[in-house]
Amino acid sequence: MKRISTRKLTRLSFLIALAIIMTRLLSLRIAIGGVEGIRIGLGSLPIIFAGVVFGPMAGGVVGAVSDMLGYWVNPIGAYMPHFTFTAFLTGFIPGFIIFYLARGKVNYLTMIISIGIGQIISSIILVPIFLQMLFGIPFEATLIPRIIGQAINIPVYAYLIKLLLNYDLISSVEEIKAT
């Protein structure tokens, strides 16, 4: 089993805390049928960032842990593991595409593609399916607003992550892999 460094654990913990704050406290929530149907904010940014910089499993763990801890800190209805799974995929898919398919080459186009695929699968497809299964909210009622929201979020996430990587806050993906 590969050991995780204290530095990497600290960075991932910071991203978990940031994801909780940005998702639970700094997001606009729109209720549909008495249930939160749409959440507008940048809560997925730290999760995707973890996947792109630290690898797919780190991104998945940051997503899942931030969802579980976020529920504990600020519960919104009953806990549903379905949404923990989508939070895991939010970090895992872009990280997998960047690390294994793009082989660590991070440019704006690969960021758009990797984040886009991840958000289409997790946010646009799975979340509305789970909302319909669990709460009876019609799939169509949440699909269109999610498509519009992700059409805005995906380029914003890609730009901000690329900007963070360029500013040497974390000097390189290779340095992270070494830790």
Looking at residue 74, which CATH number applies to its domain? 1.10.1760.20
| Spatial separation of the C-alpha atoms in residues 168 and 145, rounded to whole Å | 35
The answer to whether 69 and 62 are in contact (CB under 8 A) is: no
Residue 89 belongs to some domain of the structure: yes
Q: Are 8 and 54 in contact (CB under 8 A)?
A: yes
DSSP code, position 120? I
Domain containing 93 equals 6-178
How many domains, in total, are found in the chain? Answer: 1
Examine residue 23 and state whether it is found in any structural domain, yes or no.
yes
For residue 32, the surrounding DSSP H or E stretch is strand 28-32
- Could you tell me if 149 and 37 are in contact, meaning their C-beta atoms sit under 8 angstroms apart? no
Under 8 Å between Cβ of 81 and 67 = no
Tens digits of pLDDT across the chain (179 residues):
578 889 999 999 999 999 999 988 877 777 666 655 566 788 999 999 999 999 999 999 999 999 999 999 888 778 899 999 999 999 999 999 999 998 877 889 999 999 999 999 999 999 999 989 988 888 888 888 889 889 999 999 999 999 988 875 554 455 555 55
Residue 1 lies in a domain: no
DSSP string, 80-127: -HHHHHHHHHHHHHHHHIIIIISTT---HHHHHHHHHHHHIIIIIIIH
Of the candidates 159, 95, 89, 160, the residue with the CA atom closest to the CA atom of residue 126 = 89
Task: Say how many C-beta atoms besides its own lie within 10 A of residue 99's C-beta.
Answer: 22
